[in-house]
A and B are shown apart, each in its own frame.
Chain A
Amino acid sequence: MTIDGHYDVVLDERGTVCPMPIIALAKQTKQTPEATILLLADDPAAASDIPAWCAMRSRVLIAAGNAADGHGQAYLIAPAQDSALDIL
């Protein structure tokens, strides 16, 4: 299954291994904190580490699935919605 959804930035980390995909994700997040990021990775650790990192850094993993070109996986990561602001 491939994933759909809007994104602002693509990070292609296929071919790199743990912890490089997460470092790339954290760097991009620091540069563009409001951006939704499509991260492509084929490191087996990424499947666990992306959701765990998102929980640690208050990001949201919106979707995960196979990359559109069939090589590796795709992860769609967005800033957390600030629920307090929503209430205001």
Chain B
Amino acid sequence: MNPASVGPSDTPDPQVPAGYFDAASTLPLRASARQALLAALDQGFADPSRRYHDARRARTLLDQARESVAAVVGARPDDVSFATSGTQAAHLAVLGLAKGRGRVGRRILVSAVEHSAVMHAANASPDAVTETIPVDAYARVTRQSVDEAVAPGDVALVAIQSANHEVGTRQPIDEIGQTLAPHNIPLVMDAAQTLGRDDVPTGWNILTGSAHKWGGPAGVGLLVIRQGTRWRSPLPEDLHEGGRIPGFVAIPQIVAAAVALQEAESERHEESDRLRRLTMRLRNELPTLIPDSVVLGHPDDRLPHLVTLSVAYVPGEAVLAEIDRAGFAVSSGSSCVAESLTPSHVLVAMGALTQGNIRISLPPRTRESDVDRFMSILPAIISSVRESLGAGDL
């Protein structure tokens, strides 16, 4: 009996279907968050800025949610604002810093492997010039590459994710923060893959995140701006969320998001050790089971729940369809899967094979028996897709 297949965390969360291995895209709502959401729909409906009983109760719920999220990310409650999505948070982080620092610098430096939300916001910043910081073959930004990128000066901001969403490599955020601090250059960190799953680095000035990725509801993003950061809203004036996020605040969803993050945090250490052993097994065993395949990303300094593999001579789309038929949900950065029909910019930037790309991201409480079953079906799927293309014996 394998130790990872016993114990309390072996009980699958009733919300997560067995074989759902796309946790990096989204998670179903945690049971605790669902309860909190239902309670807060009744108790937190009122406008928190008003002066009556229901308003005060709504405000208390919002304050408590803010405090609990602030403690997890390592910030003051006043630094935390709730956006309507992780994408909105990323857009506002970049656009607002570019605006606030427009007189100091015009260059926006983003790692070549950022989420597209960050890339698009950088490209949409008026009067700014976007440049990418190259990564190594593990998709990692090095401190040296950041040093070289900032050396010419005129920098508005640097945006580097906490860890890569496609291949799982952690970025050396704390080191990069030390490089940038003496120049007073703010660092935007997209922490979408890290929150609730891994240690949150400290070297950032603005942090963004997305609640549905840690088992909270969709419709809640995190925009955390440390005191003293020169950020100015790029949007029309509005007083909600400290003037950072326009519109009526979705208190029930925010309460549910905070409860889900708290739960993810409380089980994270035990859970991440367990998931890391499962993903390490996948990393070690899949390339031996599938000839001409390669696992991507850093071997050790990586997210606990995510494994990515590229397989030669197969289209990602066909492989995903067969994997789905076998009862598993995974994603792919291959060109045939993308609407644009171009391969993922992350895979291209790291010089990786882009065909037959399979990202496996394990939700909390994944059972080892499901991982075993996945490893038992994948080699035959690859063989049959290769056979169908006349590539069975290369």
Contacts and interface: CB of A to CB of B under 8 A. Distances in A.
Interface of A: 17-20, 22-23, 26-27, 30, 43-45, 47-49, 51-53, 56-57
Nearest to A44: B342
A23 B318 CA distance: 15
A45 B394 contact: no
Contacts of B312: 19, 22, 26, 53, 56
> For chain B, what secondary structure do more than half of its interface residues adopt (helix, strand, loop), or is it mixed?
loop
A53 B355 CA distance: 10
B1 interface: no
B354 to A, nearest CB: 5
Give the interface centre of B315, B336, B348, B354 by most chain A CB atoms within 10 Å: B354
Given A18-B334, A19-B356, A45-B343, A52 B351 contact: yes
A56 B353 contact: yes
A23 B394 contact: yes
Interface string B158-169: 000000000000
Contacts of A30: 394
Interface string B330-348: 0000111000011100011
Contacts of B356: 19
Contacts of B394: 23, 26-27, 30
B352 interface: yes
B342 A19 contact: no
A43 B334 CA distance: 12
A48 B343 contact: yes
Nearest to B318: A19
B390 A45 contact: no
Contacts of A47: 348
Q: Which 10 A-B pairs have the closest CB atoms?
A: A52-B353, A19-B355, A26-B394, A45-B335, A23-B391, A45-B343, A44-B342, A48-B348, A48-B354, A18-B355
A26 B343 CA distance: 20
Given A19-B355, A56-B294, A48 B347 contact: yes
19 contacts: A17-B335, A19-B312, A19-B355, A22-B312, A22-B313, A23-B390, A30-B394, A44-B335, A44-B341, A45-B335, A45-B355, A48-B343, A48-B351, A48-B353, A49-B343, A52-B351, A53-B353, A56-B294, A56-B353
A23 B292 CA distance: 12
Contacts of A26: 312-313, 391, 394
A43 to B, nearest CB: 8
A60 to B, nearest CB: 15
A31 B334 CA distance: 28
B343 A44 contact: yes
A47 B354 CA distance: 10
Contacts of B352: 48, 52
A27 to B, nearest CB: 7
Given A23-B390, A57-B292, 20 more contacts: A17-B336, A18-B334, A18-B335, A19-B312, A19-B314, A19-B355, A19-B389, A22-B355, A26-B391, A27-B390, A27-B394, A43-B335, A44-B342, A44-B343, A45-B342, A45-B343, A49-B354, A52-B352, A52-B354, A56-B292
A18 B337 CA distance: 11
Interface in B251-268: none
Interface string B311-337: 011110000000000000000001110
A32 B310 CA distance: 26
A52 B333 CA distance: 15
Give the interface centre of A20, A26, A43, A52 by most chain B CB atoms within 10 Å: A52
Contacts of B348: 47-48
A54 B390 CA distance: 20
Interface string B347-374: 1100111111000000000000000000
Contact of B389 (A20, A48, A52): A20
Nearest to A51: B351
Give the interface centre of B315, B335, B343, B355 by most chain A CB atoms within 10 Å: B355
